[in-house]
Amino acid sequence: MDHQELHVRAGTAGRDAYALDIGPARDAPHHTTPHHTTTHHTTTHHSSPRYSSLRVLDLPPGGSHLLAAGDSEWLVVPLGGGCTVRTEGLDLELTGRTGVFEGPTDFAYVPRDADALITSGAGGRFALAGARCERRLPARRGPAPEVPVEARGSGNCARTVRNFAAADAFACDRLIAVEVITPGGNWSSYPPHKHDEHVPGRESELEEIYYFAFERPGGYGYHRISPSRAGGAELLAEVRSGDAVLVPDGWHGPSIAQPGNAMYYLNVMAGPGPEREWKISFHPDHVEGYQ
């Protein structure tokens, strides 16, 4: 897979109401209310993941959007602003946050084969993280105070992980999603690690999507993927706010933040394994002293 397919630059993968639309190929159109949404146009084609999806929805004040879940389960995660998610006869009120650097947010779970009407009085930006799945779990709200927050690493590898939909934190069928805040100048996703094969008890097979934002305008960072097998994924890219990186396989990391400018990324993971679990292998050349 070439560099362009793995690094999705901001503004190159929009569709209909979405500023970013990454996921398994599908034929059905999105259901939208055009007079309340912003239309985005795709200018570059990128490889589609097989299991995971990430859409970024911009709603103006008073805007609404109808999400048809299809064969995937979804999390509605406010990136900036709040909203109401009406699904399965429930109104899930999300207070949201002013921005991703404010702290964890509440979020909503939408089951497969459901419709969800997302409305926002004040407007905002919302991540829709999805995964193809089999089971239909109940729609519900994940409260912000219940999000497990983990301090991971130390020194210039210290970062904060918000495990809001980690495998052991919030029930989904297939979907795993977390947020990471990396202080300016620090490295995260380090040591390089992989989860691209099923090894019982040791490693799970999960593809992954990274979605980046920076605390101050003009921010940038660097993200690395190196092959774990012949012909595997390889990338060294400068990433900016609104960019995404696809990790179908391979050793991924580090993600490096510009000095003085904190970096955010949302991780969305899913795969074909028999269990929903996050088990990783560290790169043997870089693991010593960093576990």
- Domains of the chain: which residue ranges? 3-282
Closest CA to 249 of 280, 227, 273: 227
- The pLDDT of 121-138, averaged and rounded, is 98
* Per-residue pLDDT at 224 exceeds 90: yes
pTM reported for the whole predicted model: 0.92
1-22 b/e with 16+ CB inside 10 Å = b? beeebbbbbbebbbbbbbbbbb
* Per-residue pLDDT at 73 exceeds 90: yes
Q: What is the pLDDT of residues 168-194, one digit of tens each?
A: 999 999 999 999 999 999 999 999 999
Q: What is the pLDDT of residues 74-95, one digit of tens each?
A: 999 999 999 999 999 999 999 9
Pick the CATH number of 3-282 from 3.40.710.10, 2.70.170.10, 1.20.120.50, 2.60.120.10: 2.60.120.10
